[in-house]
Amino acid sequence: MKKNNYFEALLYLLRVIVYADGVFDEDESNAIQEICNLEDISESYYKDFYERVKNLSEKEMYLKGIDYVQKCSREEQIKVYVWLYKMAEVDGTIHVKEVRFLLYSFRQADIEFEEVEEVAKNSPKLKRG
């Protein structure tokens, strides 16, 4: 299956953020499915991705995600971080590790939080259980 840099960046970093607080709950699983639907990431693409990454460490996923983000256009990079920002809110609380992850990731991509926040205001809200 042909890899898409935007999809890969998004999926790798979503996996990192959902495990940042040590819990991957049903709301987060549903939110990933919702993001995949909104971004036209097929079920087969997601399943292929899942099989490829299931044995990777958090660090390996983060590094691969950042590598793919750097291959994306500026607009795609901001979209990745908008989804991560929204995902951090899905379980009702933002864990300190999620905040650190977001801020460090923004710095790596040379993206300002305000840019992400502005785009996030006009993006679909993720449903919570």
DSSP 8-state secondary structure symbol assigned to residue 40 = T
State the Cα–Cα distance between residues 38 and 43, nearest whole angstrom: 12
pLDDT in the model for residue 102:
82
What is the reported pLDDT for 24? 77
Residue 30 lies in a domain: yes
Answer yes or no: is 126 within a domain: no
Considering the entire predicted model, what is its pTM?
Answer: 0.88
- The CATH number of the domain holding residue 50 is 1.10.3680
Per the structure, the count of domains in the chain is 1
Residue 101 confidence (pLDDT): 81
In a domain, 66, yes or no: yes
Residue 127's CB is within 10 A of a number of other CB atoms, namely 10
Place of tokens 């795609």: 76
Spell out, as residue ranges, where the chain has pLDDT lower than 50.
none
Whether residue 94 is contained in a domain is answered as: yes
Structural domain contains residue 129: no
The whole domain housing 15 covers: 5-121
Nearest to 111 by CA among 13, 4, 1, 19: 13
Q: What pLDDT, on the 0 to 100 scale, is given for residue 128? A: 63
Q: Does residue 42 lie within any of the structural domains?
A: yes
Range 93-97 contact pairs with CB under 8 angstroms and sequence separation of 24 or more: 95/20, 95/21, 97/20, 97/21
For the chain, first and last CA: distance in Å?
Answer: 32
Indicate whether 41 belongs to any domain.
Answer: yes
Which pLDDT belongs to residue 1?
A: 56
| pLDDT at residue 125 in the model | 80
Assigned domain for 128 exists = no
Tokens (6 digits) for 109: 């991509």
